[in-house]
Every structure is written in C-alpha cells, then in structure tokens.
C-alpha cells in the first residue's frame, strides 16, 4: 500500500485542465471542417454522402465520419481544423454552408438550475461498434475526471436526468431505447453521440437500422466517428450551461 501511495505522490496531479485556452485536437485528429467552395470532386470523394455540392448544398457533419477523404481529394473545397467544439442543439445546425457554425446552446434556465451542478446520464449502446462508448468511458478516468463537473454515468435510468445514445439504433434495440427513455424521470434530456446515432453513420439506409425515434426529442448532437472525448465533454458541459 505504501508503494502505491508513494507512486501516486510522485505522479502528481494528472487531471487535465478544462476548458483551457488553446486546447486543440491532437495532430491526427480531424475537427471542425472549414468549408470553402464545395465541388463535385469533394462530393464524389465522400463515402457516406455528407457533402452536397451546388446551389443549396452543404457539408453535413451529422453524416460525416471524419475520414478526411474529401479534404485529400479536393483541398480547395474542405479543410479540417483542430477545433473540437462541434456540438449543436438542432440537427440542421450540423449542416455547414455559407453561414457560420452555430454551436450548441444550454437548456432552458429552469432546467439548468436543476442539472447545472448534478447531472446524471444513462448511456444506451443501441447497436454501436463500441468506439463512441469507449470515448465516453475515457471521460471517467483520472485524466479527465468527468465527476469534478458534477456529471456521472449511472446504471439505472431511474437515477438519470437523461440518456446518451450511441449506435444507429437497430430494430432489436428500439424497444430497449424507448423503455429506457420512459424510465428516466422528467424533465429529461437526450444526447445523440456519434455519426451513427445522428444519421446512421456507415449503416445509414440499412433495413435493420431505424435511428432514434422521432417522438424522442434530441437536445444535443455530438458529431464524430467516434467523437473525441474533448468534443463529448464540451457538448455535455455546454448543454447544462457550465461553459459558454
């Protein structure tokens, strides 16, 4: 036991500062796309139809898996930055075009007073590959310490203030998702985490994937495949009004 105490003392403080000025994604990470002039070449390079060139077109971050194929094929059209703040409150806000990106806004003031210092989430893996789930789990480690913000993942939806959905929501998971949502006491929030939960991801259009039912309102969209822990943390804290 004394060896563990000494080791912990020698390690020092290991939790990252957040938010922190100048904090960016690592060099291999692809963050907020900078849309220039979308071309047919960029549209053809996207494997999942996230880009629509021409009048009225745009770059749909909800469908994007951040593979970077469009930027490689048409660097004059799209450039990926190191910006990790990607979350939005409305699905249409994830479609980038001529207008500036509108980041997520906090919930209403009355709900913020309830959730701002004690926020509990039930994570629902609705047919995902476990990548988004892994990055959510990372937030509970000492390096991130999600609990310092008053946010925790809980085992029972009856102890939760909302649900965080990952995966494309398969037919086999639709009923489980509905039951979980119903078990969360109101008022409650819903977070769609990852390209699969938002728009189906690589599984979009598959007959076994139904997506989050339209009668379950989503309060926060976190794009990515998977979203970086920085992106997830930023979205959750932005939702409850802990950061601007």
| pLDDT given for residue 10 in this prediction | 79
Which residues have a Cβ under 8 Å from the Cβ of 197 and sit 6 or more positions away?
126, 128, 132, 165, 166, 167, 168, 169, 212
| pLDDT given for residue 98 in this prediction | 67
CATH class of 109-239: alpha beta
**229-239 and 131-138 helices, crossing angle to 10°:** 70
Q: What is the distance between the terminal CA atoms of the chain, rounded to a whole angstrom? A: 42
Return per-residue pLDDT of the chain as tens, 244 residues.
788 788 777 777 779 999 998 899 999 999 999 998 899 999 999 999 999 998 888 999 999 999 999 999 999 999 999 999 999 999 999 999 867 899 999 999 999 998 888 999 999 999 999 999 999 999 999 999 999 999 999 999 999 999 999 999 999 999 999 999 999 999 999 999 999 999 999 999 999 999 999 999 999 999 999 999 999 999 999 999 999 8
Q: Where are the domains of the chain?
A: 109-239
């Amino acid at each position: 036991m004394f060896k563990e105490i000494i080791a912990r003392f020698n390690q020092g403080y290991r939790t990252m500062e957040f938010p922190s000025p100048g904090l960016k994604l690592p060099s291999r990470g692809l963050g907020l796309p900078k849309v220039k002039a979308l071309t047919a070449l960029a549209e053809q390079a996207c494997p999942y139809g996230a880009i629509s060139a021409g009048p009225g077109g745009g770059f749909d971050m909800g469908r994007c898996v951040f593979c970077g194929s469009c930027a490689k094929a048409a660097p004059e059209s799209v450039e990926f930055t190191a910006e990790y703040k990607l979350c939005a409150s409305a699905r249409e806000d994830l479609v980038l075009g001529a207008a500036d990106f509108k980041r997520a806004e906090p919930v209403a003031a009355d709900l913020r007073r309830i959730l701002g210092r004690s926020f509990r989430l039930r994570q629902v893996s609705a047919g995902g590959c476990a990548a988004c789930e892994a990055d959510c789990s990372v937030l509970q480690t000492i390096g991130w310490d999600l609990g310092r913000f008053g946010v925790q993942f809980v085992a029972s939806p009856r102890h939760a203030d909302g649900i965080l959905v990952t995966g494309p929501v398969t037919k086999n998971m639709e009923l489980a998702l509905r039951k979980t949502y119903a078990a969360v006491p109101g008022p409650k929030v819903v977070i769609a985490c990852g390209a699969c939960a938002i728009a189906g991801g690589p599984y979009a259009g598959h007959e076994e994937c139904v997506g989050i039912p339209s009668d379950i309102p989503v309060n926060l969209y976190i794009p990515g495949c998977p979203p970086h822990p920085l992106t997830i943390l930023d979205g959750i804290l932005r939702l409850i009004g802990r950061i601007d």
